[in-house]
Every structure is written in C-alpha cells, then in structure tokens.
Structure 1
C-alpha cells in the first residue's frame, strides 16, 4: 500500500528571511523552517530533543541549527543531533514552486 504525501502551502518564499528560522503549525505539527544562504529551504521538527528548546530561534550555521537553550547542533538535512549529544528531530520535504513554500506531510 502506497501512502501519498500531502503538499501543504506554508508561505511565500520572500516571507522567510535568509538564516532566520520561523515556526509554523501544520496539521498538529510544529515545524521550524529555515532558508539557507544557498537559497535552499529546510524543515525540521521545531523542538530540541533535549530541552524542548525552540529550534526556530536558534542560530543557523551552514546546514545546522544550534538550540538556543543548550547549543546542541542539529542537522537541517537529517534531523540528527551532532555527537556526542544524542537525539533526532523529524525532517520534512520542502517543495519550492513559483515563489511559494510547500511542506510534505
């Protein structure tokens, strides 16, 4: 059985500043969106697995975000916390189409 993902419109691309996270809520999911300096948009679960800190408020460096509460480094690609710390946040596929951001759920 194949499960089809739904592509949910989130916002216009120009509403998401480069390197500044934004938390959005879609279908009971709290998601942190990030627009990287290379123009890619990444979406991960919005809460740090360690402190429940708001990742959308963290500092972005390359393809990572640092939790604003404990400085845990979380990959915006895989959702994994950088060792020696442990944990994972969900990742979501992002589609950019005609200047619009969609997240796949």
Structure 2
C-alpha cells in the first residue's frame, strides 16, 4: 500500500460500497466515480463522460473498463482513454483503502 502522507481526501467508508458497486462522490467541488471491484479493489475516475456528460458511476464496469450508460463509450481504468476514436479521455484518480476509509487523490 502507498503511504497516505500526501494530501488525499477521505470520501467515505469502504464498507458503504458493496462489492461490484459504484457511486459518485463530491470531492473538492468535483464529481468522482468510485468503483469497487468484485475482488474488493477500488478504481476512481471523473464521474462525467466527456461525450454527453453521462453519469459514469451508473455504467457497467469490469476490472479493465467502465462503459457510459448513455451511449456505451468505454473508458479504461489504466489511463482513462476511450476505446472509440474521437471521444476524449476521463481522468483516472489514485484511490485506496486505509483503515476502512476510501481515500482519493485528485
């Protein structure tokens, strides 16, 4: 696990996010989508699709990508790039669990 001595924002308890669930959190005036994989690991991206502002936290996801529920554009968790040409990327945020809390870095 990475040290949390750098400034990070505690956004909630990991126990409040079920395995395979996602939700949007407001962090420093931004909307961040947090995804809890079925293995318990966490991923975080911007919560708004760059195509038509779709709610990414409401999309289907797997270990590699999130699919926007509005137009089915997929974005990788590795670097936020869209798998379709012509659509911008989303920002992928560092996220981890520490002592039961979800911490995200913007």
After TM superposition, the score normalised by the length of structure 1 is 0.88
Unaligned runs of 5+ in 2: none
* 1:62-81 aligned within 5 A: 62-81=63-82
Aligned to 2:39: 38
Aligned to 2:13: 12
| Structure 1 vs Structure 2 CA RMSD | 1.6
Moved over 4 A (4+): none
- Give the CA deviation at 1:95: 2.3
After TM superposition, the score normalised by the length of structure 2 is 0.87
Cα distance in 1 between the residues matched to 2:89 and 2:6 = 21
- Give the CA deviation at 1:98: 1.2
**Corresponding residue SS for 1:31:** strand
Unaligned runs of 5+ in 1: none
